Amino acid sequence: MSKKLKIGLFGFGVVGQGLYDITVSRHLNLEIKKIAIKDASKKRSLPSELFTTDRWEILNDPEINTVIELINDAEAAYEIVSYALKNGKNVVSANKKMIALHLEELVQLQRKHDTALLYEGAVCGSIPIIRNLEEYYDNELLYAVSGIFNGSSNYILSKVFNENQTYGDALRKAQELGFAETDPTLDVGGYDAKFKVCIAAAHAYGLFINPDDVLNIGIQNLHLSDMKYVSEKGQKLKLVPVAKKRNDNEVSIYVLPKLVERDDFLYNVENEYNGVSVQAAFADQQFFFGKGAGGHPTGAAVFSDISALRYDYRYEYKKTLVEEKVDFNNEEVIQVYLRFNQQRLLQELPFISIDETFSCKQYHYVVGSVRLADIFNAKDAILADGAFIADTGKYVAHTETLAEEAVCCNID
């Protein structure tokens, strides 16, 4: 039978209000008792006695057994969530940054204090990817999890590529619609997507990774010449986080813009939609598509977590418990398109092999194979140059063979 939930809600922004809309339209065994907000002066649509600016009114209320954390500030969120978990309250959060930065500790807290932290809304909005990794693929061998995890940058790319809007106009529109984070670098720089793919990797591979060790370059430096290159090839450009197995023991994780072919499902994921592609040994290719941003879609994911808490559901992180552990590293070699301004960038970013070069008065580009660790080390130089780098999506077969090929190329 379902458990009565008394809820303390932190944050009443787009997602918090979306959640409230969903909650009141259902007749479930739950009650939102108190809502903690930062700004008491803001006009609210609900009675003022429901609100408080004092977090302890929720955290120290023994009647409240469930905390929903939907605030922006990752550090404050961490304090709230860890305090709640330590004090016997179950928690639902949609704060990907906070979860990605503290996941290993948060899992330990759950185990130690027999409480649950659910966060479907933190990864790809309405798409139930965490639940599926956790439950359905719990014993599947997963080759790769990738996709479009950030609705805001995808919205911008759609407007820029399909409607010829400028990058700036598209970004402003995304912010107006509530898709974008307050700090746009989180979205367009690939940080948001990185936090999400790190969380997914915990469920897909049993890995807890420090996001600082993971490469992320976004669409900040997208230039007309890059758009021309992509369009001429009949492709589209998407910002794609990837977590994939290199072999039985190693996993690569990175976020880069990617050139996407017409027959790829990601090709048709437009605007604020997200898409998650899962490549599994037996289930084969799987694809999940849904709204990745906005109050109601994310609210729906949060609501589904709340609903699951009524039945004492919790993540088991089963893949962290298996014996055959995998390691994360940046040894993977991928083929990239790199458009740049200063030739000296190629000294900072050593290519293993170069397949195409192009130069004109305004800019240069190369297409070639490069190690993730080398992109990681050259990130500042790439961004400072105004360069744009994108994964071509062409599969690079074997590092060993490649090194040999690279030698050949260099001799040529």
Q: So which residues are the catalytic ones?
A: 196
Shortest distance, CB of residue 152 to its own copies, whole angstroms? Answer: 16
In whole angstroms, what is the distance from residue 407 CA to residue 114 CA?
A: 56
Q: Which is nearer to its own copies, 132 or 342 (CB)?
A: 132
Shortest distance, CB of residue 258 to its own copies, whole angstroms? Answer: 18
In whole angstroms, what is the distance from residue 184 CA to residue 342 CA?
A: 27
Strand partners, 284: 280
Alpha carbon distances (Å) from 213 to 154, 210, 253, 329: 24, 6, 9, 9
Shortest distance, CB of residue 18 to its own copies, whole angstroms? Answer: 7
Shortest distance, CB of residue 145 to its own copies, whole angstroms? Answer: 14
Q: Which is nearer to its own copies, 77 or 127 (CB)?
A: 127
Place of tokens 């939102």: 32
Count of helix runs (H) and strand runs (E) in the chain:
15, 17
Quick one: CA dihedral 169, 173, 176, 180, positive or negative? negative
Shortest distance, CB of residue 4 to its own copies, whole angstroms? Answer: 15
Nearest to 19, CA basis, from 334, 207, 321, 301: 301
**Angle between helix 224-232 and 151-163 (nearest 10):** 80
Count the Cβ atoms, other than its own, within 10 Å of residue 135: 14
Q: Which is nearer to its own copies, 95 or 304 (CB)?
A: 304
User: What is the contact surface with its own copies in residues (CB under 8 A)?
Assistant: 18, 21-22, 25-26, 28, 120, 126-128, 131-132, 135-141, 263, 265, 268, 280, 282-291, 296-297, 299-301, 303-304, 307-308
Q: Which is nearer to its own copies, 210 or 285 (CB)?
A: 285
Q: How far is CA 58 from the centre of its chain?
A: 29
Residue 100 structure tokens: 């990605």
Q: Which is nearer to its own copies, 145 or 253 (CB)?
A: 145
Q: Which is nearer to its own copies, 21 or 327 (CB)?
A: 21
- Residue 319 is given by DSSP the state G
Shortest distance, CB of residue 146 to its own copies, whole angstroms? Answer: 14
- Angle, CA 327 vertex, CA 243 and CA 115 arms, to 5°: 80
Q: Which is nearer to its own copies, 29 or 87 (CB)?
A: 29
In whole angstroms, what is the distance from residue 346 CA to residue 53 CA?
A: 53
Q: Which is nearer to its own copies, 20 or 351 (CB)?
A: 20
In whole angstroms, what is the distance from residue 72 CA to residue 191 CA?
A: 14
Assign residue 9 a region (left: φ > 0; alpha: ψ between -120 and 50; beta: otherwise).
beta
Shortest distance, CB of residue 270 to its own copies, whole angstroms? Answer: 9
Residue 169 structure tokens: 């106009």
Shortest distance, CB of residue 79 to its own copies, whole angstroms? Answer: 29
Kindly report each contact of residues 392-398 with a partner whose C-beta sits within 8 Å and lies 24 or more positions away, as own/partner.
392/258, 392/259, 392/334, 392/335, 392/336, 392/337, 392/367, 393/258, 393/259, 393/260, 393/261, 393/264, 393/335, 394/335, 396/333, 396/334, 396/335, 396/369
